[in-house]
């Protein structure tokens, strides 16, 4: 299992639980010190020989391609790629630095495209594999303050849907995860600049631990769901937002058909309450 952004947050928790399940894991991140700390932590859950840490920049294809080659040479194969590297910048559209849009697309979107491009030829030659994209609930319902971040996460969703259609005949499954607000260092950093309106809207959801998120995503992935969710809100959003997304589990699709209407009604009341928050804050 290869996990980008695996030195902290959701990525680190995913690495932990994949190791507990008996997998060999490669974690990729830029910061070598954080990687060293992550390996020390992960060695509590598995033999250190099952862990490989590689310093690489996900926004550089050359860096990531070398990391993928190193993983294959070290472990002999790659069964699963988890694109978890990402970051967030929140702010009202007309107050955001325009460079934030390019920055977030480079890290969140291209930082998922490049590792995928590096691993797909290998998986196609083996005619098997799994690619998981860690998107966000923001790519199911985008709210005030997330014009830059939301766009970068919606891009992942569109990319994954097209890629799934291309890779299905090669035995490669594609899944998209939509984690909620998660109590990580990245979340704490985001909160420092998040607009007050965005904070108030976000309070309607639940804050999860990274372990809760990781366990839920792995469970959904093992059930071969296309959309991986966390919590009741995550489940509801997944039912109301399938659109023309791939069908990988008929049970999942039939539930979406049955409950999407009522979930849409519930969602409308959420939207009304969020608009009231915005109006009150702008007075």
Percentage of the residues of the chain whose pLDDT score is greater than 70: 100
**What is the mean pLDDT of the segment spanning 134-150?**
94
The answer to whether 209 is a known catalytic residue is no
Residues 6+ apart with CB under 8 A from 48: 39
pLDDT of residue 242: 75
User: What was the pLDDT predicted at 199?
Assistant: 93
Condensed to tens digits (0 to 9), the pLDDT of residues 51-61 reads 999 999 999 99
Query: How many CA within 13 A on the CB side of residue 37?
Result: 10
Instruction: Indicate if the pLDDT at residue 145 is higher than 90.
Output: yes
Residue of 18, 144, 146, 149 with catalytic role: 149
Task: Dump pLDDT digits (tens) for 148-158.
Answer: 999 999 999 99
Write the DSSP symbol of residue 70: H
Active-site residue 281, yes or no? no
Q: Which of 12-16, 48-52, 152-156, 242-246 has the lowest mean pLDDT?
A: 242-246
pLDDT at 213 over 80: yes
* Proportion of the chain above pLDDT 90, given as a percent: 82
10, pLDDT greater than 90 = yes
Considering only the top CATH level, what class is 2-282? alpha beta
Give the predicted TM-score (pTM) of the model.
Answer: 0.93
Of 215, 216, 210, 254, the C-alpha closest to 233 is 216
**CA 91/CA 97 separation, integer angstroms:** 9
Between 70 and 142, the higher pLDDT residue: 70
Strand partners, 209: 183
Is residue 257 over pLDDT 80?
A: yes
Q: Which of 135, 152, 173, 245 is catalytic?
A: 135
For the question of residue 225 being annotated catalytic, the response is no
Closest to 16 (Cα-Cα) out of 214, 216, 230, 217: 214
The predicted model gives 197-205 an average pLDDT of: 90
Distance CA 8, CA 187 (A): 11
CA-nearest of 198, 201, 253 to 224 is 253
Task: Report the distance separating Cα 125 and Cα 134, nearest Å.
Answer: 25
Provide the pLDDT for residue 253. Answer: 85
| Catalytic-labelled residue, pool 153, 221, 229, 245 | 153
Confidence at residue 80, expressed as pLDDT on a 0 to 100 scale: 98
Using 50, 70 and 90 to split pLDDT, how confident is the model at 64? very high
Domain boundaries, the chain: 2-282
Give Cβ neighbours of residue 207 (< 8 Å, ≥ 6 apart). Answer: 180, 181, 182, 183, 187
What are 17-39's pLDDT values in tens digits? 999 999 999 999 999 999 999 99
Nearest CA to 117 out of 65, 169, 165 is that of 65
- CB within 8 Å of 54: residues ≥ 6 apart: 26, 27, 28, 35, 67, 70, 71
């Amino acid at each position: 299992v290869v996990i980008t952004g695996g030195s902290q947050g959701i990525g680190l928790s995913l690495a932990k639980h994949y190791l507990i399940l008996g997998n060999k894991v490669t974690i990729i991140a830029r910061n070598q010190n954080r990687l060293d700390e992550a390996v020390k932590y992960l060695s509590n859950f598995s033999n250190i020989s099952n862990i490989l840490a590689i310093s690489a920049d996900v926004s550089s294809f050359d860096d990531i391609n070398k990391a993928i080659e190193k993983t294959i040479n070290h472990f002999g194969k790659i069964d699963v790629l988890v694109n978890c590297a990402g970051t967030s910048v929140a702010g009202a559209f007309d107050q955001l630095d325009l460079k934030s849009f390019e920055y977030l697309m480079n890290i969140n979107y291209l930082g998922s495209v490049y590792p995928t491009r590096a691993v797909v030829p290998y998986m196609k030659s083996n005619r098997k594999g799994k690619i998981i994209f860690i998107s966000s609930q923001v790519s199911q319902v985008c709210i005030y303050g997330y014009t830059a971040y939301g766009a970068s996460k919606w891009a992942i969703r569109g990319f994954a849907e097209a890629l799934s259609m291309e890779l299905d005949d090669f035995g490669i499954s594609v899944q998209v995860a939509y984690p909620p607000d998660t109590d990580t260092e990245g979340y704490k950093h985001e909160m420092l600049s998040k607009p007050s309106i965005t904070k108030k809207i976000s309070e309607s959801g639940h804050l999860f631990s990274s372990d809760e998120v990781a366990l839920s995503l792995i469970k959904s992935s093992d059930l071969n769901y296309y959309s991986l969710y966390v919590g009741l809100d995550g489940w509801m959003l997944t039912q109301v937002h399938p659109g023309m997304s791939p069908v990988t589990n008929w049970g999942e699709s039939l539930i979406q058909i049955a409950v999407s209407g009522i979930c849409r009604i519930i969602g409308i009341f959420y939207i009304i309450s969020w608009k009231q928050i915005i109006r009150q804050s702008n007075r």
